[in-house]
Amino acid sequence: MRILLVSTLSLGLVFGASLPTAAPEQAGLSHERLDRIDTVMREHIAQHRLAGASGLLERNGKVVFRQTWGDYKFDTIVRMYSMTKAVTGVAAMMLYEEGRFSLNDPVSKYLPEFSKMRVGRESFDANGRRTYYTVPAEHPIRVLDLFRHTSGLDYAGPKEESGDNAYKKLDMMGGAPLVPFDLAEAVRRLATAPLNDQPGTIFRYGYSIDVLGRLVEVLSGKTLDQFFAERIFRPLEMNDTGFYVPEEKWNRLAVLYAPKRGGAVGIEPSTSPAQESFKKKPALLLGGAGMVSTLDDYARFCTMLVNEGELNGVRLLSRKSVELMRSDNLGNLARTGTLPEGYGFGLTFAVNRGPGKTATVGSEGEFYWGGAAGTSFWIDPKEHMIGVFLINVLPPTGIPAADQFKRMAYLALE
């Protein structure tokens, strides 16, 4: 095993030349304990729980573990889904630093379609039948609410007064709809539906970051893909990251898998439209779910954040902006689903409130997120450590690989 990991690091010198490497012991990690990650991932491949995976660990500015398993190569392109949200958050904060908006500004100041929002409610009539109605929003949605998912938006939508799902008739169900209209139209449609909650009162995961992406478009005068490419991907040399895979790179796009039907053990190629849809530029550029990327590209993005906004002399954000993003901005607000026990939420990231509250290994202040097909990343300022783990299984139900990767990485620290 030790020989295998050393060879992996030598490959890193070729494929990840812009991210320096080091032996694990030089960065305060146990080589022997990191070998356990390889053993576990090989078992997932052998048991047909995964067809491919890749993982990278970096500490103190040096890549100490970089490995692929099964069908994956270091340049395999994967569907990142909600790991897009962190990029949208950084894009918005870049405009925040330019004085384009305040976090307390009402969203309607820039997107007037949100000026007269209503909130869905339900009750029971005298005969016990469920009825639906709406009431006016008591407060405007603030830009802060978009960053931290307290806007009242989600992915399912509330019921309208007719009893119909509010998002279904808008063609906006599910978080990543394949539709012929653009982000401006998608946001306009969302603004016609009632909110689930009064703005600023409850963490509810959903389309908030997509609306934030539209804010980036309006304030910058550029489409989201243009802003990302010009202001983030090119400066960070994220050359394989975008909203679709060009034809010359189709052979590098990961196969999307799904759990076998009928309860059988294992996975099989997904029949979802997402299997092919990422091969062409979509009309709807989703800041919350639309990106593809690679192991090394996303590691560069995470390295910029653990370096407090800078990578190789290129500064995207002030260190104070990164500090704000990775701080818990939820406080004692209520939350529904998605957010694990013991975590707060910053500006597009979940934030670890401390191992005693999460009951997991890690550090207070570590921040992370993941994607619907099993991708994940975390950034730990205290340990100056990042981890990126990629698979493409939708949904990744019952596959603990990402949690194992993170747990074993932390337990390798000396």
DSSP 224-268: HHHHHIIIIITTTT-TT-BSS--GGGGGGBPPPEEEPGGG-SSEE
pTM here is 0.94
CA-wise closest residue to 28 among 383, 408, 388:
383
DSSP helix/strand/coil, 403: helix
- Look-up of token digits 């309860």: 263
State how far the alpha carbon of 107 is from the alpha carbons of 62, 115, 134, 140, 206, in Å.
40, 8, 20, 7, 16
Q: Is residue 223 a contact partner of residue 236, using CB atoms and an 8 Å limit? A: no
> How would you classify the pairing of strands 367-370 and 350-352?
antiparallel
State how far the alpha carbon of 114 is from the alpha carbons of 148, 151, 205, 293, in Å.
17, 11, 18, 32
| Residues in the chain with pLDDT values less than 50 | 1-17
pLDDT at res. 338: 85
H or E element, residue 204: strand 202-204
- Look-up of token digits 């139900």: 397
Identify the architecture of domain 2-89+225-410 in CATH. 3-Layer(aba) Sandwich (3.40)
Retrieve residue 257's tokens.
């898998």
Retrieve residue 336's tokens.
């529904």
Query: What residues have CB less than 8 Å from 262, skipping those under 6 apart?
Result: none
CA distance 384 to 401: 23
CA distance 305 to 316: 9
How do the domains of the chain map onto residue ranges? Answer: 2-89+225-410, 103-219
DSSP helix/strand/coil, 112: helix
> How would you classify the pairing of strands 385-390 and 130-136?
unpaired
Q: Helix crossing, 208-220 with 183-192: angle to 10°? A: 130
pLDDT at res. 178: 94
Quick one: DSSP state of residue 371? -
Helices (H) and strands (E) in the chain, counts: 12, 17
CA-wise closest residue to 258 among 244, 245, 269:
269
Q: Is residue 143 a contact partner of residue 102, using CB atoms and an 8 Å limit? A: yes
Q: Which amino acid is at 31?
A: H
Strands (E), 205-295: 257-259, 267-269, 291-293
Distance between the two ends of the chain, CA-based, in angstroms? 19
Retrieve residue 17's tokens.
């030349």
CA-wise closest residue to 187 among 103, 284, 90, 102:
284
Retrieve residue 102's tokens.
């305040």
pLDDT at res. 2: 36
pLDDT at res. 263: 82
- Residue 246, preceding peptide bond in cis (omega within 30° of 0): no
